[in-house]
């Protein structure tokens, strides 16, 4: 008697699994730099936080029916100058996803999402004494049709506008607020402003003053 059991077909990886290259693509060399006690040196939660944020981005793109992010980090992008438009979003990929998608449609490649403090650096500004310029060595850029790509920039790409998750209670608010502090380019907010906007008493006072109460 022949068995009716059929061998299970080989599982075909999904497009998301084929494109997702793991933490090494997000923070190259982080495994080699691991400290003896098992803690990754440098900023807290990185690259684990970058990996988690990247996975959240892929989940959000999938829910919107958009293609997964392509890993193009092996071939660095070059040729960016100070006049090239770079709108940098720091932190959470989901809070600003509509902005990233719309910006990618209107200005393909200009919207860059930074998921980790190790992807950016602050250098003294050449145009504004006492201020800082934000340079991006890595980021997720967005293009028309909801397409996105994980890219590296050589030399680092200078941000012309910066915003991000600056809410005081957000787990990423610490490094986002530090990177966005005292920049020589316009920013979409600051940690002190976020504190002020979330202060219920101040908000009520402002509304009452506007109503002559």
Contact 69, 148 (CB under 8 A): yes
What is the total count of domains within the chain?
1
Tell me if 93 is assigned to some domain: yes
CB atoms within 10 A of CB 195: 13
Tell me if 110 is assigned to some domain: yes
Number of H helices, E strands in the chain: 7, 7
Tell me if 127 is assigned to some domain: yes
Tell me if 62 is assigned to some domain: no
pLDDT in tens for each of the 213 residues of the chain? 444 444 444 444 454 444 444 444 555 443 333 333 322 223 444 556 788 889 999 999 999 999 999 999 999 999 887 778 999 999 888 888 999 999 999 999 999 999 999 999 999 998 889 899 999 999 999 999 999 999 999 999 999 999 987 765 555 557 888 888 889 988 876 666 666 666 678 778 888 888 887
| Its pTM surpasses 0.75 | no
Closest CA to 171 of 118, 117, 119, 122: 117
Tell me if 27 is assigned to some domain: no
Domain that holds residue 142: 68-203
Q: Which helix (H) or strand (E) holds 138?
A: strand 132-142
Tell me if 105 is assigned to some domain: yes
Token pair listed for 68: 């997964």
Tell me if 142 is assigned to some domain: yes
């Amino acid at each position: 008697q022949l068995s009716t059991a059929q061998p299970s077909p080989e599982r075909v990886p999904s497009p998301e699994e084929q494109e997702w290259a793991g933490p090494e693509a997000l923070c190259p060399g982080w495994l080699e730099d691991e400290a003896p006690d098992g803690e990754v040196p440098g900023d807290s939660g990185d690259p684990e936080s970058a990996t988690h944020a990247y996975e959240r981005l892929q989940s959000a793109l999938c829910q919107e029916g958009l293609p997964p992010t392509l890993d193009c980090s092996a071939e660095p992008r070059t040729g960016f100058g100070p006049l090239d438009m770079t709108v940098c979003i720091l932190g959470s990929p989901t809070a600003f996803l509509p902005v990233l998608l719309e910006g990618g449609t209107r200005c393909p490649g200009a919207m860059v999402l930074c998921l980790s403090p190790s992807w950016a650096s602050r250098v003294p500004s050449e145009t504004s004494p006492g201020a800082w310029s934000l340079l991006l060595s890595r980021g997720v850029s967005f293009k028309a049709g909801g397409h996105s790509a994980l890219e590296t920039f050589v030399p680092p790409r200078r941000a012309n506008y910066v915003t991000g998750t600056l809410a005081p209670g957000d787990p990423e608010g610490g490094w986002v607020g530090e990177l966005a502090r005292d920049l020589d380019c316009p920013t979409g907010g600051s940690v002190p402003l976020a504190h002020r906007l979330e202060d219920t008493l101040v908000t009520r006072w402002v509304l009452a003053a506007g109503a002559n109460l």
